[in-house]
Amino acid sequence: MKNLKLLGLVALLSAALPAAAAPAPQPAATTLTIHADRPGAVINKDVYGQFSEHLGSGIYGGIYVGKDSPIPNTDGFRNDVIAALKDLHVPVVRWPGGCFADEYHWRDGIGPQAQRPVRVNHNWGGVPETNAFGTHEYFEFLDLIGADAYVSLNVGSGSVQEAMDWIEYMTSDQDTTLARLRKANGRDKPWKLAMLGVGNETWGCGGSMTAAYYTDLFKQYATFVRTKPEARPQVIASGDHDTTTDFTESLMKNARGGLDAIDFHYYTILGPQWENKDTATGFGEAGWINMLANTLKMDGFIRQHIAIMDKYEALHRQGPGPHKKVGLYIDEWGSWYQPEPGSNPGFLVQQNTIRDAVLAAANFNIFHKYADRVRMTAIAQTVNVLQAMILTDGPKMLKTPTYWVYDMYQPFQEATSLPLDLKTGTYKYGKWSVPQVSASAARASDGSIVVGLANLDPHRPAQVSAVIAGAHEGQVKGRLLTGDTMDAHNTFENPDAVHPVAFDSARLSGNSLSVTLPPKSVVVLSLR
């Protein structure tokens, strides 16, 4: 009986004691060799491009509020949004769509705003489109943030003549009727048109076309891009999406003249059906790893299209002509979730978390690997739509975790890519598995070596041991982006909950670099 009482007392005391803390997860080992002695292609600044469509409050309310708005603005453009985008050094902005582009008639968006026709935006919410933001406003926006123009032509419901007229209106420096009209509307000199998209998603919302039909149509439009040689934009064909390759195959085989690039679209969703989308916040670990595993498919898609492009360029090449002449432009990409509860489902409003930041960094690291072909990308979209840089609510504005990844990766713009060998462990959950660490490296324009790293594991740190072949750097500085939870995000009440901080867990000695990456993190290092 005494022994029973003693056992009971021990049990009672044990229950009263605090539970022992679970041991911290041990860092997983990753090895990395950066070949500074084998420089590759330059990472075009346009890889960090943006996409702004007439969709929800992406333009109206997000970028443009009108001159009479109480929200501080310059000629109707939000001062806070302009300043934030200018800080990113946005290189190029694709406009006016997207699906919207193939219902957009450019003459609706010129002249006095009060006299512009009001249309219905059939693609996005069925709401009125005032056309208050048109060609002149677009180019003024670009001037304010220092970006180049990527204009998408209306092929789905437009005509070659309409496209020719718009190109002349934007680019002509001669005394023509359309140039006079531009001057009468307030712009004396022609604008610089860097890129011209011939249609959008012509396999779907842009006209439900076959690859063969669109290829012939592309050749027709490309023939009538009439500018002076020095003013000619890059001409970009509407290409494939997800697993399809029909358009790339047809265009590379049959549309050799006037083709500067083919676009490709891929949105990361839960899948496998398009309707199966996760919530932007409040998700579990299955949602975390599922999205990251699906976004890494981008690497295979790019390789598949490059193989087709290489094949036909080799067949068509005569003499020592340029290799990799046609670019592969990923001008719509990013995460796509269920719309925020209570929002118009056609406005594609979603929050943006540390999961999206890791997803963005992983895609950048893929794009850098194929810098010789992937010379432009545009995330969807800049403000208030899908994986946005910025969210606004009336006069309020916040920068999302994805914004901060763009900010951290700025040194990669116009840097020379450096090949690397990466050996990393596997992060697994349920039926899904992904490499724990994603990485890329480049020689920046200031001579430093910049390294981008992402730890896809939300629980375990990653111990990275790197060797820089062909270089001996003396200093390392870094920035870190992470969050307390998998869905850590910024709110209008707490807009700085997720933001970069100085990173001091990297050690450099000669050509050896040691880095400890926190879980669910993005780190960018500068080695000098």
- Residue-wise pLDDT for 53-85, tens only, equals 999 999 999 999 999 999 999 999 999 999 999
For residues 511 and 471, is the Cβ–Cβ distance under 8 A?
Answer: yes
Looking up tokens 């346009």, which residue turns up? 46
The partner residues of 31 in beta bridges, in order of sequence, read 423, 465
CATH superfamily of this structure's domain 44-413: Glycosidases (3.20.20.80)
Angle between helices 79-88 and 401-408 (to 10 degrees): 40
Distances (CA, A) of 307 to 65, 409, 504: 45, 28, 41
For residues 251 and 305, is the Cβ–Cβ distance under 8 A?
Answer: no
Q: Using one digit for the tens of pLDDT, what is the confidence trace for 117-139? A: 999 999 999 999 999 999 999 99
The H-or-E segment that residue 364 falls in is: helix 354-369
Cα distance between the two ends of the chain: 74
For residues 54 and 129, is the Cβ–Cβ distance under 8 A?
Answer: yes
> Which phi and psi angles does 78 have, rounded to 5°?
-60, 125
Listed by start position, the domains of the chain span 23-42+415-528, 44-413
Percent of the chain past pLDDT 90, that is, above it, reads 90
Q: Using one digit for the tens of pLDDT, what is the confidence trace for 307-343? A: 999 999 998 876 555 578 999 999 999 999 999 999 9
Q: Is 201 in the active site?
A: yes
Looking up tokens 């990844």, which residue turns up? 405
Tell me how far apart the alpha carbons of residues 497 and 490 are, in angstroms, rounded to a whole number. Answer: 5
Percent of the chain past pLDDT 70, that is, above it, reads 95
CATH number assigned to the domain covering 23-42+415-528: 2.60.40.1180
Tell me how far apart the alpha carbons of residues 382 and 399 are, in angstroms, rounded to a whole number. Answer: 11
Residue 1 has pLDDT above 50, yes or no: no
DSSP reduced 3-state for 288 = helix
Q: Using one digit for the tens of pLDDT, what is the confidence trace for 373-390? A: 999 999 999 999 999 999
- How much is the average pLDDT of 383-406? 98
Q: Where are the beta strands (DSSP E) in 73-131?
A: 73-74, 77-78, 92-95, 119-121, 127-129
- How much is the average pLDDT of 346-369? 98
CB neighbourhood size of 16 (10 A) = 7
pLDDT of amino acid 2: 38
Amino acid letter, 35: H
Q: How do beta strands 327-335 and 376-380 pair?
A: parallel
pLDDT of amino acid 256: 77
Residue 6 has pLDDT above 90, yes or no: no
For residues 351 and 489, is the Cβ–Cβ distance under 8 A?
Answer: yes
- How much is the average pLDDT of 202-209? 98
Q: Kindly state the tokens that stand for 40.
A: 């590759």
Residue 13 has pLDDT above 50, yes or no: no
Tell me how far apart the alpha carbons of residues 5 and 11 are, in angstroms, rounded to a whole number. Answer: 10
**Residues, the chain, total?**
528
Q: Which of 214, 307, 231, 261 is nearest to 47 (CA)?
A: 261
Q: Using one digit for the tens of pLDDT, what is the confidence trace for 432-473? A: 999 999 999 999 999 999 999 999 999 999 999 999 998 877
Looking up tokens 């669910």, which residue turns up? 520
Tell me how far apart the alpha carbons of residues 216 and 226 are, in angstroms, rounded to a whole number. Answer: 18
Q: Is 162 in the active site?
A: no
The overall average pLDDT reported for the chain is 94
pLDDT of amino acid 320: 59
- How much is the average pLDDT of 238-246? 97
Q: Using one digit for the tens of pLDDT, what is the confidence trace for 171-188? A: 999 999 999 999 999 999
> Which phi and psi angles does 141 have, rounded to 5°?
-60, -45
| pLDDT classification of 513: cutoffs 50, 70, 90 | very high
pLDDT of amino acid 8: 42
Q: Which of 473, 524, 520, 472 is nearest to 501 (CA)?
A: 524
Q: Using one digit for the tens of pLDDT, what is the confidence trace for 139-148? A: 999 999 999 9
pLDDT of amino acid 132: 98
DSSP reduced 3-state for 197 = strand
Among 53, 137, 201, 249, the active-site one is: 201
Q: Which of 309, 388, 398 is nearest to 356 (CA)?
A: 388
Dihedral angle over CA of 489, 492, 493, 499, nearest 10: 40
DSSP reduced 3-state for 479 = strand
pLDDT of amino acid 24: 66
pLDDT of amino acid 9: 38
pLDDT of amino acid 465: 97
Residue 412 has pLDDT above 90, yes or no: yes
For residues 525 and 476, is the Cβ–Cβ distance under 8 A?
Answer: yes
Among 249, 332, 340, 493, the active-site one is: 332
Q: How do beta strands 77-78 and 73-74 pair?
A: antiparallel
| pLDDT classification of 25: cutoffs 50, 70, 90 | confident
Q: Where does residue 125 fall: left (phi above 0), alpha (psi -120 to 50 degrees), or beta otherwise?
A: left
pLDDT of amino acid 345: 96
pLDDT of amino acid 101: 98
The model's pTM is 0.93
pLDDT of amino acid 474: 83
| pLDDT classification of 11: cutoffs 50, 70, 90 | very low
DSSP reduced 3-state for 399 = strand
320 preceded by a cis bond (ω within 30 of 0): no
